Chains A and B, each alone.
Chain A
Amino acid sequence: MTVDRWGPRLQLGRRLGLAAAFLASACAPKPAFVPGPQLDFSHDSGSLGEYRFPETMGAGLALFDVDQDGDQDLYAVQGGPLPVGPSGAQAASGARPQAPPNRLFVNQGRARFVDSTSESGAAADRGYGMGVAVADLNGDGWSDLFLTNLGPDRLCLAEPDHAPRFQAGPELAYEPNSTAAAGEWSTAAGCADFDLDGDLDLFVCSYVDWHPEREPGCRSGSLRDYCDVKRYPGLPDHVFANDGRGQFREVSGAWGLPVHAERGLGLALFDADLDGAIDIYVANDTDANRLYLNRLASGRGFDDQSLRSGASASSDGVFEAGMGVAVADLNHDEVPDLVVGNFTGEPNSLYLSRGPAVFVESSRRLGIAAPSLHKLTFGIAFEDFDGDGREDLLAVCGHVLRHVDEAATTWGWKQSDQLLLQAVDGRFEEVDAGPLLAEPWSSRGLAVGDLDGDLRPDWVQSTSSGPLRIGLNRMEQQGGGRLCVRLADRRPGAPNPSAIGARVSLELSDGRVERRWIRAGGSYLSQDEQSARFAWPKGLLARAIEVLWPDGERTRHSAPGVSATLCIER
């Protein structure tokens, strides 16, 4: 009887419950990103439980079109056993024959990747890998790789007739007494035509003077852990000139690069003072960030304008733990604005331009500070993820201390990542982007590009001692459109065929001009897709495209009325 009496009610209850669950799932916000394919790659920090400092810094990755089939391939930098010789000292050559290789995953379209490491020669470099920058360095029309290592760095040149295959490029030539010659710890690298001779030169950040036999030994709470970076002295950065054929010689002294023994991790190369020459911004870890203005054309080398720029410290005058860097013209004044990922307890720094090479720290007023205060941000990227015509901010996070939870339970070694969408008033607001970003990892590198060919920006992140994580963008755009612009300089003998350093502007029907830059190197030790990606919302039209080529020439083009990928050549 009891069953009979309650049975129909229970059934009704179940039905109502199912209906409620269905409605809840239908009304729940859809995740912004869904997981992409899981690749057979796991970062090997080389940890043997001795807490050697390089193990915790992770490695970068690159998105670029290695085989020129139109989609973005993925290059992942690997660590492996630390280059420590039998005596416990650092092996000078940095060579580790048994080390796991860097890996190349070729995109077969729609984000389906095939491991092409063995046939590509991507494994040729056996250094303890840190970062990667991509650019056509010898002007043959194919993208080359510059790899930074704990130990000697490597130039890998593409073999045009055998894509996607690389061969070791010529060794770098160093200035007499250069600290780089000994194979120090390099981190971020980037390429730009500093001397305006047409070909791409090279800037390499150095981190700290690390020797395994001098590892201090530190603790988090009661447990052995990695040491504070301040226990290791910094190193000066280096700049190299290209002879046009991919042979680089160091010109740090010759070009007047200021010598600061600091701990460089992030790099952005862009024209900060709008004089047509590419300047250098270095995010340093607990040292002053640096802005070197390029005065090579007037014979004055690089001019350290860090203090005047307002972009070298926090608004409290503190030198924060700078990691990755990203640029975007948020206030539409042509001067790129900067964001730098920082340590826990330090908000990410947004330096908003207030004229050429002058910035004001605006993290608080634009809403970036509060969400990032409890995060340690490594990789960072500006990108219009939701297609509303405004660039958003993606930050991937993770702590450097393996047992930080012991010291302060508030922060973990693994941390969730953050998506901040830009609103109409220019302020950023953190949003729930779904479980993929909420899942905690100790993330390091970040590269953004369109992996599945739907014009929406996707991302790949590297993790410390973990997998590559791929996020495919599923944010729905109501009307409007997206545009991906790729540049190619096909003039015979053009030394910079992929137009690194160019600026692409899109004029919208409301008069707004959105700007993007084609850059080699960025975020944290990583490389984004080298294209200009735009979006515009419903009710607006894309009117025209202007390209400011690296040599200063401007070309104008009509914009397609619909979403498209466009290749602009000259």
Chain B
Amino acid sequence: MPIGLPAEGRRAHSRAAPGAALLPWLALWSTLCTLACGRPAELGAAPQAAPFVAAALEREARGDASGALADLRAVLAAHPESRVAWRERARLAALTNQLEEALDAYSRLLAAEPDDREAADGLAQVALFVGDLERAETAAARLCSLPAASAQQLAFGARIAFERGDERGCSERARAALDREPAHPEAHFRLGLVALGQGALAAARSAFERALDSDPGHTGANYALATLSLQLDPGQQEEAERLRERAESAQDLGSSGFRAAPVYERLARAERAVAANPGWSRAHLELARARLDLGQPAEAEAALVKAQAGRPPLREALWLRARAAQELGRPKQAHQWRQRWQAWAE
């Protein structure tokens, strides 16, 4: 389920939530309230729901995402106007594979606030995942029309247009993404696929190369370039095999099975990815994560230095550096890394 990943930082920032103990009572009260109040109010801040939402997030941080989702349902039954509760419910529903619920929650958010980028993005992603391309396109069109749409969101819109067979729309959105961020790998990749479909092989090759300049671990660009290299020059077998290996290691590290694998297996797979693609930050980061899980913070720190030197830049590397510093007995340094992690988000 590639929709979302539990953010490590959320765990760190979870705090004792005053609403936690009241959640069972809230569920009962919410039922009564729903019966009495009838139609839900429009979405808004609903400050009275905040402690309950925080309690649900704390439960998620303890590793119980399904329980957190149940809590949020209860919160929303009592406070159907709470935008933040709907947002977290949508995210958690997607995370726990409750896809219809996620679609519904994102749709509500978007209906209440048509300029809600996060909701449009989430709706488009879940709709694409379940194969509802029309719904995905509606959300993507909304997203891409917003002046504040990010390069990432525009590139995702390009992907949805591509999936629908709308090559012109795909190109327009990909170019808009590149206007925001000229090196955006996914935008270059989509332009490469459009060029490939049109038989413009040189343009396709150039676009795939640009995608890999920014993200050496881009699965699709590695694979497409491997294939194209062989088609253009069968003598390029060695280079093509190298790219294929990179594509496959990237596919492996991105799979759901990788995170669920035992730590020694993750370590071995991350080491293989590093060997195949030394400039790829994600491979070093996963190696560092496995080292940390094995209680080897010094080795993890060394891997994180390489992750930070590689491409693309990864915010998670800052968080893991804080964790490594903490485990190495350097709390001040750990604090600094956390601050940098926080600053990135802001």
A, B bound: yes
- Select from chain A the residue with minimum beta-carbon distance to B130: A410
B131 near A373 with CB under 8 A, answer yes
Interface size on B, residues (CB 8 A): 35
B165 near A369 with CB under 8 A, answer yes
Q: Separation in Å of the B169 CB from the closest CB of chain A?
A: 12
Q: Which of B98, B167, B219, B240 contacts A316 (CB 8 A)?
A: B219
Q: Separation in Å of the A219 CB from the closest CB of chain B?
A: 12
Q: In the complex the two chains form, what is the Cα distance from A360 to B231 in whole Å? A: 11
Q: In the complex the two chains form, what is the Cα distance from A411 to B131 in whole Å? A: 10
A residues 356-410 near B (Cβ < 8 Å) are 358, 360, 362, 364-367, 369-370, 373-375, 407-410
Of B191-199, B279-287, B291-299, the stretch lying at the interface with chain A is B191-199
Q: Does A310 lie at the interface of the complex (its beta carbon under 8 Å from any beta carbon of B)? A: yes
B residues 69-108 near A (Cβ < 8 Å) are 97-100
Can you list 25 A-B pairs, Cβ within 8 angstroms, ordered by A?
A221-B97, A228-B257, A230-B257, A307-B226, A307-B241, A309-B227, A313-B247, A315-B193, A315-B224, A316-B219, A316-B223, A317-B220, A317-B223, A317-B247, A317-B251, A318-B220, A360-B196, A364-B162, A365-B167, A366-B165, A373-B133, A408-B99, A408-B100, A410-B132, A411-B130
Q: In the complex the two chains form, what is the Cα distance from A362 to B133 in whole Å? A: 17
A365 near B197 with CB under 8 A, answer yes
Q: Does A344 lie at the interface of the complex (its beta carbon under 8 Å from any beta carbon of B)? A: yes
Q: Separation in Å of the A418 CB from the closest CB of chain B?
A: 12
Q: Which of A315, A317, A345 contacts B129 (CB 8 A)?
A: A345
Q: Which of B99, B131, B196, B244 contacts A409 (CB 8 A)?
A: B99
Q: Does A347 lie at the interface of the complex (its beta carbon under 8 Å from any beta carbon of B)? A: yes
- Select from chain B the residue with minimum beta-carbon distance to A319: B251
Q: Which chain A residues lie closer than 8 Å to B129 at the CB level?
A: 345
- Select from chain B the residue with minimum beta-carbon distance to A355: B231
Q: Which chain A residues lie closer than 8 Å to B133 at the CB level?
A: 370, 373
A310 near B163 with CB under 8 A, answer no
B164 near A318 with CB under 8 A, answer no
Q: Does B230 lie at the interface of the complex (its beta carbon under 8 Å from any beta carbon of A)? A: yes
A370 near B231 with CB under 8 A, answer no
Q: Does A9 lie at the interface of the complex (its beta carbon under 8 Å from any beta carbon of B)? A: no
Q: Does B222 lie at the interface of the complex (its beta carbon under 8 Å from any beta carbon of A)? A: yes
Q: Which chain A residues lie closer than 8 Å to B219 at the CB level?
A: 316-318
Q: Pick from B100, B234, B247, B257 the residue with the most CB of A within 10 Å.
A: B247
Interface 1/0 per residue, B196-234 and A, CB below 8 Å: 110100000000000000000001111110110011001
Q: Which chain A residues lie closer than 8 Å to B257 at the CB level?
A: 228, 230
Q: Does A308 lie at the interface of the complex (its beta carbon under 8 Å from any beta carbon of B)? A: yes
Q: Separation in Å of the B140 CB from the closest CB of chain A?
A: 14
Q: Does A14 lie at the interface of the complex (its beta carbon under 8 Å from any beta carbon of B)? A: no
Q: In the complex the two chains form, what is the Cα distance from A315 to B131 in whole Å? A: 17
Q: Separation in Å of the A147 CB from the closest CB of chain B?
A: 33
Interface 1/0 per residue, A191-209 and B, CB below 8 Å: 0000000000000000000
With A360-B197, A370-B163 as contacts: A408 and B222 at CB distance below 8 Å: no
Q: Does A556 lie at the interface of the complex (its beta carbon under 8 Å from any beta carbon of B)? A: no
Q: Which chain A residues lie closer than 8 Å to B98 at the CB level?
A: 408
- Select from chain A the residue with minimum beta-carbon distance to B101: A409
Which residues of B are interface residues toward A (Cβ below 8 A)?
A: 97-100, 129-133, 162-165, 167, 193, 196-197, 199, 219-224, 226-227, 230-231, 234, 240-241, 244, 247, 251, 257
Q: Does A354 lie at the interface of the complex (its beta carbon under 8 Å from any beta carbon of B)? A: yes
Task: Give the bracket for the number of chain A residues in contact with chain B.
Answer: 35 or more
Q: Pick from A308, A362, A366 the residue with the most CB of B within 10 Å.
A: A308
Which residues of A are interface residues toward B (Cβ below 8 A)?
A: 221, 228, 230, 307-310, 313, 315-319, 344-345, 347, 354, 358, 360, 362, 364-367, 369-370, 373-375, 407-411, 427
A308 near B131 with CB under 8 A, answer no
With A408-B99, A410-B100 as contacts: A317 and B197 at CB distance below 8 Å: no
Q: Separation in Å of the B207 CB from the closest CB of chain A?
A: 13
Q: In the complex the two chains form, what is the Cα distance from A307 to B98 in whole Å? A: 37
Q: In the complex the two chains form, what is the Cα distance from A548 to B336 in whole Å? A: 74
- Total A-B residue pairs with C-beta atoms closer than 8 Å? 87
Q: Which chain A residues lie closer than 8 Å to B193 at the CB level?
A: 315
A308 near B227 with CB under 8 A, answer yes
B100 near A409 with CB under 8 A, answer yes
Q: Which chain B residues lie closer than 8 Å to A307 at the CB level?
A: 226-227, 230, 240-241, 244
- Select from chain A the residue with minimum beta-carbon distance to B227: A310
Q: Which chain B residues lie closer than 8 Å to A360 at the CB level?
A: 196-197
Q: Separation in Å of the A411 CB from the closest CB of chain B?
A: 8
Q: Pick from A228, A230, A316, A319 the residue with the most CB of B within 10 Å.
A: A316
Q: Which chain B residues lie closer than 8 Å to A310 at the CB level?
A: 227, 231
- Select from chain A the residue with minimum beta-carbon distance to B165: A364
Q: Pick from A310, A319, A354, A367 the residue with the most CB of B within 10 Å.
A: A310
Q: Which 5 A-B pairs have the closest CB atoms?
A: A374-B131, A317-B223, A373-B131, A308-B230, A317-B220
Q: In the complex the two chains form, what is the Cα distance from A313 to B97 in whole Å? A: 26
- Select from chain B the residue with minimum beta-carbon distance to A411: B130
Q: In the complex the two chains form, what is the Cα distance from A313 to B221 in whole Å? A: 12
Q: Separation in Å of the A321 CB from the closest CB of chain B?
A: 13
B230 near A370 with CB under 8 A, answer no
Q: In the complex the two chains form, what is the Cα distance from A347 to B162 in whole Å? A: 12
- Select from chain B the residue with minimum beta-carbon distance to A347: B163
Q: Which chain B residues lie closer than 8 Å to A370 at the CB level?
A: 133, 163-165
With A408-B97, A409-B100 as contacts: A358 and B231 at CB distance below 8 Å: yes
Q: In the complex the two chains form, what is the Cα distance from A344 to B219 in whole Å? A: 20
Q: Which of A316, A364, A369, A427 contacts B220 (CB 8 A)?
A: A316
Q: Which chain A residues lie closer than 8 Å to B221 at the CB level?
A: 317
Q: Separation in Å of the B171 CB from the closest CB of chain A?
A: 13
Q: Which chain B residues lie closer than 8 Å to A315 at the CB level?
A: 193, 196, 220, 224
Q: In the complex the two chains form, what is the Cα distance from A309 to B231 in whole Å? A: 8
Q: Which chain B residues lie closer than 8 Å to A358 at the CB level?
A: 231
Given A373-B131, A410-B131, list of 5 further CB < 8 A pairs? A307-B227, A307-B244, A308-B227, A345-B131, A362-B197
Q: Separation in Å of the B148 CB from the closest CB of chain A?
A: 27
Q: Separation in Å of the B170 CB from the closest CB of chain A?
A: 9
Q: Which chain A residues lie closer than 8 Å to B234 at the CB level?
A: 308
Q: Which chain B residues lie closer than 8 Å to A309 at the CB level?
A: 227
Q: Which of B100, B163, B230, B251 contacts A373 (CB 8 A)?
A: B163
Q: In the complex the two chains form, what is the Cα distance from A297 to B163 in whole Å? A: 41
Q: Separation in Å of the A61 CB from the closest CB of chain B?
A: 28
With A310-B227, A360-B196, A362-B197 as contacts: A317 and B222 at CB distance below 8 Å: yes
Q: Which of B97, B131, B199 contacts A407 (CB 8 A)?
A: B97
Q: Which chain B residues lie closer than 8 Å to A410 at the CB level?
A: 99-100, 130-132
B130 near A408 with CB under 8 A, answer yes
Q: Which chain A residues lie closer than 8 Å to B163 at the CB level?
A: 347, 364, 369-370, 373
- Select from chain A the residue with minimum beta-carbon distance to B243: A307
Q: Which chain B residues lie closer than 8 Å to A230 at the CB level?
A: 257
With A307-B240, A367-B165 as contacts: A374 and B197 at CB distance below 8 Å: no
Q: In the complex the two chains form, what is the Cα distance from A362 to B197 in whole Å? A: 7
Q: Which chain B residues lie closer than 8 Å to A427 at the CB level?
A: 165
Q: Which chain A residues lie closer than 8 Å to B227 at the CB level?
A: 307-310
Q: Which chain A residues lie closer than 8 Å to B222 at the CB level?
A: 317
A374 near B132 with CB under 8 A, answer yes
Q: Which chain A residues lie closer than 8 Å to B247 at the CB level?
A: 313, 317
Q: Which chain B residues lie closer than 8 Å to A374 at the CB level?
A: 130-132
Q: Which chain B residues lie closer than 8 Å to A344 at the CB level?
A: 131
Q: Which chain A residues lie closer than 8 Å to B130 at the CB level?
A: 345, 374, 408, 410-411
Q: In the complex the two chains form, what is the Cα distance from A268 to B240 in whole Å? A: 25
Q: Separation in Å of the B70 CB from the closest CB of chain A?
A: 13
Q: In the complex the two chains form, what is the Cα distance from A246 to B322 in whole Å? A: 69
Q: In the complex the two chains form, what is the Cα distance from A561 to B240 in whole Å? A: 52
Q: In the complex the two chains form, what is the Cα distance from A362 to B196 in whole Å? A: 10
Q: Which chain A residues lie closer than 8 Å to B167 at the CB level?
A: 365
Q: Which chain A residues lie closer than 8 Å to B97 at the CB level?
A: 221, 407-408
Q: Which of B131, B132, B164 contacts A364 (CB 8 A)?
A: B164
Q: Which chain B residues lie closer than 8 Å to A317 at the CB level?
A: 219-224, 247, 251
